[in-house]
Amino acid sequence: MKYIVTGKGYTSDLLKQADASVNIIDENDFRDSNLIIRVGDKVYSPTESALDSILAKSTSSTFTGAVTKLKDKELFRNLMSSLYPDFFFQKTTIDELKNLELDRTRKYIVKPTKGFFGTAVKELDQNTNISEITEEIRIELAENTRYFSESVLSREELIIEQFIEGEEYAVDMYFDTKGKPVILNIYHHPIPHKNEYFHLLYYTNKEIFDRFFDRLNSIFLELNQHLKITDFPIHAEFKLENEQLVPIEMNPLRYGGYGLADLTYYAFGFNPFSAFFEDFKPDWEKIWQTRSDYHYGWVLGYNGTDIDVNTHTPNDDAFQQYLGDILHYEEIDYKENPVFSIAYFKNNDHSFLKQLLNTEFNDFFILEEKDK
């Protein structure tokens, strides 16, 4: 059987293009159904909230173990230790955090062992007040664990690990029916000028593929020496530190969220979700023959930091004109979300990418006209 288990959050329209043999079902209906996930079934879930139901219905210990090991950050670091033997990490709890003996000349990241959407992720350095950070973590977890189960967001357990410097990259891939990695896209995620617009831009190009494809393929081959999984999608995030790709995290059973994975379709012409279910393997040499001059990007149109959405409305026409060659544009309900659009573009000028990082979204909102 083939399943797409949908739920809370943005769901791509491309999922609906899946073959008729794919059962698209809401997480609540899936949870209440008699459906069972067996060895050989294919499962894709764009939402973390469905993981509980999926794990509960799995009869495969290999499948369940892979989801658990990738989702739990301590288990994940243990999993990757053969590739990164010198990487420092340590499991702790909220109560124990203040008593840890750390080299305070170094920089660290502390986060829940199972996390979601950056909840309670904090940086520690020699100037950090541990008591204040501990209280911030406690408050954030108390607010968010009301909505997510223990398998999605830890309540007490934390992991502290060395801070990874460098540029951030992301990968959408799946392991095929033989357990071999199939890379569907590699993105660069440069940091914008304004941190409030953190996920503003992801882009890809031939240079990125040429530079990282083989390295990433080797990492995933090594990973599956331990997981031994087949038919399994992953969205992985890395930082490039001293020319080494160091994983930040790997998210099981999905690709990049909020429509990021759709960039593969608009840039390369194949549906990444159908690719997983049909065991499709892209011919990258052929794909880049007609695309090597371009950057292909995904832009998240944020509600401006100074904008009151009750009195202002986004100027979508102006934003599209600003972006130039639009491949696809998706308007989002800005009164129900922190963003007003998702845009996909292509451009052959690298300086334009740098310009995007300085985008001020306050400039793309206008005062609503009141009825006279």
Q: How confident is the model at residue 145 (pLDDT cuts 50, 70, 90)?
A: low
Q: What is the mean pLDDT of the chain?
A: 91
CATH number of 86-162: 3.30.1490
List pLDDT tens digits, range 262-302.
999 999 999 999 999 999 999 999 999 999 999 999 999 99
For the chain, the structural domain boundaries read 86-162, 165-365
Among 81-90, 116-125, 131-140, which is the least confidently predicted range?
Answer: 116-125
* List of residues 6+ apart from 101 with CB closer than 8 A: none
Whether 343 has a pLDDT exceeding 90, the answer reads yes
Q: How confident is the model at residue 192 (pLDDT cuts 50, 70, 90)?
A: very high
The rounded percent of the chain whose pLDDT value lies above 90 is 72
Spatial contact of 235 and 247, defined as CB atoms under 8 Å apart: no
Whether 367 has a pLDDT exceeding 80, the answer reads yes
Give pLDDT, residue 274. 96
Q: How confident is the model at residue 146 (pLDDT cuts 50, 70, 90)?
A: low
Q: What is the DSSP string of 63-93?
A: HHHHHHHHHSHHHHHHHTTTT-TT--EEEEE
CA distance 242 to 221: 22
Spatial contact of 220 and 56, defined as CB atoms under 8 Å apart: no
Give pLDDT, residue 72. 87
Stronger pLDDT, 326 or 147, i.e. the higher one = 326
Q: Which CATH number fits domain 165-365: 3.30.470.20, 3.40.50.300, 3.20.20.80, 3.80.10.10?
A: 3.30.470.20
Residue 257's nearest CA partner among 52, 3, 8 is: 8
If DSSP states are collapsed to H, E and C, what string results for 226-248?
A: HHCCCCEEEEEEEEEECCEEEEE
Give pLDDT, residue 372. 43
List pLDDT tens digits, range 236-271.
999 999 999 999 999 999 999 999 999 999 999 999
Residue 219's nearest CA partner among 200, 245, 248, 193 is: 245
Q: What is the DSSP string of 177-228?
A: TTS-EEEEEEEEEPPPSSGGGTTSEEEE-HHHHHHHHHHHHHHHHHHHHHH-
